[in-house]
Structure 1
Amino acid sequence: LVFFLLLLAMGVMLMIIYLYIFPKLNHRITQLKSILTQSQTQVKSLLEGTNYIFFILGKDLSLLQFNRATANYAADTFGQSLNLGDNLLHFIPEEEQEAFLSLIQKTLSGERCFFDLKLKEKYRGTVWYFVQFLPVYTADSAQVEAISVSVVDITVRKKSETKVKLQNIELRTANQKLADMIKEKDLLMGVVAHDIRSPLNRIRSLVDLLQDSGSLNEKQQEYITLINKVADEGSKLIYNLLEINRLEQKDYELELSIIDLSSFVKEVVNFQQKIADDKFIQIVLQNELPSNFTFRTDLQALRRILENLLSNAIKFSYNHSKIYISLMEDANKLIIQIRDQGQGISVEDQKKLFQKFNRLSSRPTGGESSTGLGLSIVKSLVEKMQGEILVNSQLGQGAEFIVTFPTNNQKLALTA
């Protein structure tokens, strides 16, 4: 009875498996086959639609599969049609077969191989391809049974890289030439400045001798005054040229010291006031700094900045006008403002205001000379001192120059 019951139970289980489980398994297997077929179709469609060359080689180098791009390339390049089973070695030039077989052996041993291939083609000339050899393993991943090969045309990229390399070479050559020219310019600047300054000094000496003779009439005295003026302008130009050349040197260093800023600015203003007196111009100093305000700076550089800005304001201001210079500290910044009541600066002139040798459309009101270097020197010095310079101006409404320097490191400098 027990044995009969066991047989009956087994029969029922088999009946259940046959009637219910097998159909579900068959349905799932059918679904998987359909998905696999769709995936294979999609992959094949993708490979057929791409311009990239793709093919699969057997271990004996026979073609197991290839796409349309591969067939087209063989027809265009070798004038042959490809067939499954063709040996790829027949298409490789004899002198390159040894290197090709070496790559094949590496791939069959499980390595991935990538390299750039340079070819000489009949119609396109020199072309470049990126070639990739990948091992294809058996279902159990135990061994390599084939090699997939993909080839991408990278000629455009290579030509771009070559162009960039050539441009870099040209750029380095141009930079070297520029460096040589700058060096030559610096040497020439020193020689020319010395050779011109010496005759100017001799002219001054001769003029002094003439004046000391005491036998000059009014017309001759006028000529002497004119000669002195021309010599002074020449000396100033040479000084500015040497100064701008010095500022452009990489080894330029500031000579820092701590100064009483209020006293220093007052001294500069008093000196410039003597020049302004010739045009009946008053320079007004508005000092809003705390008493005994000290500032760590390059004394001569700051003097040059203030003198150039005040000198410019005097040149381009009308007689009987005023120039205001203001000193204040705000948000860890020293602010120096110089404002005149002169002709103002046009928008176009403001764009080139700090460039070397640029002359403005406005001219000095008293016929004074201008080298076109003063504001360029000012900007270079301000930037060397980690400051900023701005200009606010409209034609006919004067000009305002605002120079700012950081003061947040001043207390540290004083205690150092």
Structure 2
Amino acid sequence: MYLRAENEDEAAREREALWQARLCSLEESLEPTPSWSDADKRLELAAMLHWRGIYHPVLELLRPLTDSEFPTPVVAQARQLIADAHFRHDQYDLANRQYHENLEIARAQGDEYWAARAKDGIGWVLIEVGHYTSGEFADAHKVFAETLPVYQKNGKPLGEAMALQGLSRAYAGAGDYDRALQNAEQAITVFRENGRTDYLQLPLIQMAMIYRDYGSFHLSDPMFEAAIDAADWSQDRYSQVTAALGYGCLLGFLSRKEESRKIWQRALTMADRHEFPRLAHEISVQLANDAVDREDFRSAYEHQTAGQRYGSQIGVVSPLLNNQHLLLRNQLHHTQHLQDALAHLTAGIEASVDGIFVLGEPQDNIAKGDFVIRFVNACAAEMLGRRPVDILHVMMGEVWRSPTAALLQQPSRRVWETGELCTLDPVQLEFKEGHPQWYSVKIAPIRDGVAWTVSDVTKREEMQREILAQRDRLEEANTRLVALDREKTEMMAIAAHDIRGPVGNIYSISRSIASDEPETRRWLGVIEAASESLLAILGNLLDVERIERGELSLDLQPIEVSLLLEEVVEQFSARAREKRIGLKLDLPIASAWARADVNSFRQTVQNLVSNALKFSPMDSTVEIRLSVAGRRLRIEIRDEGPGISPEDQDLLFGKFVRLSSRPTDGESSTGLGLSIVKRLVEAMDGEVGCISTLGQGTTFWIEFPALSLREAMGG
């Protein structure tokens, strides 16, 4: 909270320590005579002191930098900071003259940005002078409206946000609160988007004061607290005092006099210490009025004297105790705002689609937790099936006799006793006999009672229950599908196992029969090839069944991949020659090792090479390439076949997948080979993938963690 006591806030102490450390570092590094080399340090040090509300040392640091021997940007920034220091310390005449001088110099130099900065300063002077005279808010609005596009064009977000802040103040001074709020909100957005949260307190204070003056106290209160926290965090002394002054006024309107008085007293100490006479004057006026209300005339006299002293520094004389008519006018003004706000709130409550019940403290029946109905809106009356006028000041238990009423009685009594909010969501209530509905009920403590906000959530609950029922049905269907898939796999495995023996016998017999007849040899070759193909299909089926049952046993050990690849190439050389396909092995490294199961690794490469040969046309090439990059070993099998469509690539590694492209020589395909490859590779901690463009061939790749020779040898 605002103006924390010393050593109360750990974060504040840390920021203060960092600030002091940076301050000391800058002071120690300054040269005795200002020079180009330390100009930036002087500017930074002056800005830090200016932010903290320190006046005269800032002027001493900056004045030497206004000499023409320094670079133009340094001079411009120093002159602007001097004017800003005059302004912050309520030296409006000095500030105004300096801003006009800066404007003339910037125009002569053709510097659009610093000209805009100077014009902004003139606009702020117009706004502050407008507090004590007839006001110059229209002229100020014109100034900021001219500078805003300059900052936007030159990419100066801080200037843009400050111009928006100036427009907000000008609109507020002219009584256009809606536009004032819009510009303040835009300023907040620009500050946040550009990481300048150290300036957020400025538009937050503006919005809080607008809401306060507009009578929206429920919005003003949290906005002031946010502004105060932002000012505390940024250690902006001027904004801290400004926020405290405004927040104290709000607390006074809310009859929190003691709090407002304490805040004003602490703020006055800070305003006096940092030479903010205008703010000190306004706080003294508020403290004097507060003392009059308390009939503490001694304190009123002291604050009146102090206020006149501060006022004389800025040329303002306040009648204080002689301005009772002004106080009365302000009071009537704010009372009207309160009445308007209450009317808006009442209209909103009446139009609410939620039932709102205001229940008062019970005079008796306390053991039952019953309450007196003080207010119900139209929706709440409709729930009870009664007119509001018929049930006001009647015990709730007499109006709502449903057994479900007990569901709210005990929680309401607990909220009333503890002051803690309670939410019941969902709860089934029966306001009308025979019509139970689902509701979300919030029970909040209020003065001398509780308030219910009752929302009908029947449709939501019915939808949620339908979703849950649908989920249960889907889970049940999925369980059945998994069971059927398991049964299918088991049946196929049994069939494959039973068929494998006879087929194996046919294959063996066909190979053992010798004949000199060409026709007989041809048919024996057909039988042998068909048997071999059928045995491969049955082997794939059994492999899938064994993998899915978790019976795959792997013996992971270091293997020399290059030797295994040479074996596979040798194995498929004859088939490649039959199809007039070049089978090429590219081994750019002498030796490469990986940890894998020898048989599973060989089966994986065999399947991929076999596929490549199946889908490759005559007079093409299948290339097998081995590479090692870092700790990854990669094998690529590239063919010059028809390629694979993007649609088929999404299905490649599924079971029983038949792709749109077909083998070039009519070979059979179960659609299981790639599924087995994927499962074997992943079981060996590897990865498999495919790169293909339709009509341009296909490259399948597998990767495994590589082993160094030392690791492979067990070193």
Change (3 A) 1:41 1:407: farther
Deviation at 1:120, TM superposition (A): 5.7
Deviation at 1:331, TM superposition (A): 4.5
User: Could you tell which deviates more after superposition, 149-158 or 105-114?
Assistant: 105-114
Measure, in 1, the Cα distance between the counterparts of 2:434 and 2:528.
75
Measure, in 2, the Cα distance between the counterparts of 1:346 and 1:173.
35
Contact conserved, 1:382 with 1:389, CA < 8 A, in 2?
A: no
Partner residue in 1 for 2:360: 58
User: Could you tell which deviates more after superposition, 51-60 or 90-99?
Assistant: 90-99
Contact conserved, 1:328 with 1:335, CA < 8 A, in 2?
A: yes
Aligned partner of residue 193 in structure 1, secondary structure: helix
Alignment match of 1:201 (pick from 499, 504, 527): 504
Partner residue in 2 for 1:375: 674
Identify which of structures 1 and 2 has the higher relative contact order when contacts are C-alpha pairs closer than 8 Å and 6+ apart: 1
Contact conserved, 2:584 with 2:624, CA < 8 A, in 1?
A: yes
Per-residue deviation, residues 288-346 of structure 1 (Å, max 9, x unmatched)? 12x33322222222212211121122222233433221112234432222223344444
Deviation at 1:160, TM superposition (A): 2.7
Partner residue in 2 for 1:110: 418
Partner residue in 1 for 2:585: 285
Kindly report which structure 2 residues correspond to 1:8-157, keeping only aligned pairs within 5 A, or say none: 20=322, 22-60=324-362, 61-74=371-384, 78=385, 80-83=386-389, 84-110=392-418, 112-115=421-424, 116-119=426-429, 126-137=436-447, 145-157=448-460
Deviation at 1:217, TM superposition (A): 5.1
Alignment match of 1:298 (pick from 597, 620, 628): 597
Measure, in 2, the Cα distance between the counterparts of 1:148 and 1:410.
78
Q: What letter corresponds to residue 89 of structure 1 in structure 2?
A: G
Measure, in 2, the Cα distance between the counterparts of 1:101 and 1:363.
75
Identity among equivalent positions (%) equals 29
Aligned partner of residue 255 in structure 1, secondary structure: coil
Per-residue deviation, residues 69-101 of structure 1 (Å, max 9, x unmatched)? 223333xxx3x3221224332332353455554
Deviation at 1:394, TM superposition (A): 3.4
Contact conserved, 2:423 with 2:443, CA < 8 A, in 1?
A: yes
Change (3 A) 1:183 1:40: same
Partner residue in 2 for 1:244: 544
Per-residue deviation, residues 3-43 of structure 1 (Å, max 9, x unmatched)? xxxxxx99xx8xx9996164454344334433432332232
Per-residue deviation, residues 118-146 of structure 1 (Å, max 9, x unmatched)? 14688996521112222322xxxxxxx22
Partner residue in 2 for 1:225: 525
Deviation at 1:260, TM superposition (A): 1.7
CA RMSD of aligned residues (A): 3.4
Partner residue in 2 for 1:6: none
User: Could you tell which deviates more after superposition, 114-123 or 294-303?
Assistant: 114-123
Change (3 A) 1:94 1:259: closer
Alignment match of 1:323 (pick from 597, 622, 639): 622
Contact conserved, 2:402 with 2:430, CA < 8 A, in 1?
A: no
Change (3 A) 1:96 1:50: closer
Kindly report which structure 2 residues correspond to 1:266-285, keeping only aligned pairs within 5 A, or say none: 266-285=566-585
TM-score by length of 2: 0.49
- Long gaps (5+) in structure 2: 1-296, 305-318, 363-370
Deviation at 1:246, TM superposition (A): 3.3
Measure, in 2, the Cα distance between the counterparts of 1:40 and 1:162.
41
- Long gaps (5+) in structure 1: 1-8, 138-144
Measure, in 1, the Cα distance between the counterparts of 2:471 and 2:707.
42
Per-residue deviation, residues 270-293 of structure 1 (Å, max 9, x unmatched)? 11112222223331211112x333
Contact conserved, 2:540 with 2:673, CA < 8 A, in 1?
A: yes
Change (3 A) 1:114 1:364: closer
Change (3 A) 1:99 1:123: closer
Partner residue in 1 for 2:245: none
Change (3 A) 1:409 1:167: farther
Alignment match of 1:172 (pick from 451, 462, 475): 475
Partner residue in 2 for 1:314: 613
Per-residue deviation, residues 333-382 of structure 1 (Å, max 9, x unmatched)? 32222223344444554444433333344433333222222233223333
Kindly report which structure 2 residues correspond to 1:320-399, keeping only aligned pairs within 5 A, or say none: 320-384=619-683, 385-395=685-695, 397-399=696-698
Change (3 A) 1:387 1:99: closer
Partner residue in 1 for 2:124: none
Measure, in 2, the Cα distance between the counterparts of 1:18 and 1:308.
99
Measure, in 2, the Cα distance between the counterparts of 1:355 and 1:241.
14
Aligned partner of residue 618 in structure 2, secondary structure: coil
Aligned partner of residue 543 in structure 2, secondary structure: helix
Measure, in 2, the Cα distance between the counterparts of 1:398 and 1:318.
10
Contact conserved, 1:327 with 1:334, CA < 8 A, in 2?
A: yes
Change (3 A) 1:267 1:312: same
Partner residue in 2 for 1:140: none
Aligned partner of residue 535 in structure 2, secondary structure: helix
Measure, in 1, the Cα distance between the counterparts of 2:707 and 2:525.
49
Measure, in 1, the Cα distance between the counterparts of 2:550 and 2:435.
49
Deviation at 1:412, TM superposition (A): 6.3
Measure, in 2, the Cα distance between the counterparts of 1:180 and 1:70.
53
User: Could you tell which deviates more after superposition, 279-288 or 216-225?
Assistant: 216-225
Measure, in 2, the Cα distance between the counterparts of 1:217 and 1:405.
50
Deviation at 1:117, TM superposition (A): 2.8
User: Could you tell which deviates more after superposition, 43-52 or 332-341?
Assistant: 332-341
Measure, in 2, the Cα distance between the counterparts of 1:410 and 1:182.
44
Q: What letter corresponds to residue 396 of structure 2 in structure 1?
A: L
Partner residue in 1 for 2:495: 192
Higher share of residues assigned helix: 2
Measure, in 2, the Cα distance between the counterparts of 1:201 and 1:401.
31
Change (3 A) 1:298 1:205: closer
Per-residue deviation, residues 188-217 of structure 1 (Å, max 9, x unmatched)? 2332222121222343355467x26x6x85
Change (3 A) 1:95 1:410: farther
Contact conserved, 2:688 with 2:700, CA < 8 A, in 1?
A: no
Change (3 A) 1:275 1:44: same
Aligned partner of residue 85 in structure 1, secondary structure: coil
Deviation at 1:414, TM superposition (A): 6.3
Contact conserved, 2:360 with 2:373, CA < 8 A, in 1?
A: yes
Contact conserved, 1:305 with 1:381, CA < 8 A, in 2?
A: yes
Contact conserved, 2:402 with 2:431, CA < 8 A, in 1?
A: no
Alignment match of 1:160 (pick from 457, 460, 463): 463
Measure, in 1, the Cα distance between the counterparts of 2:436 and 2:403.
18
Aligned partner of residue 63 in structure 1, secondary structure: strand
Change (3 A) 1:371 1:113: closer
Contact conserved, 2:561 with 2:593, CA < 8 A, in 1?
A: yes
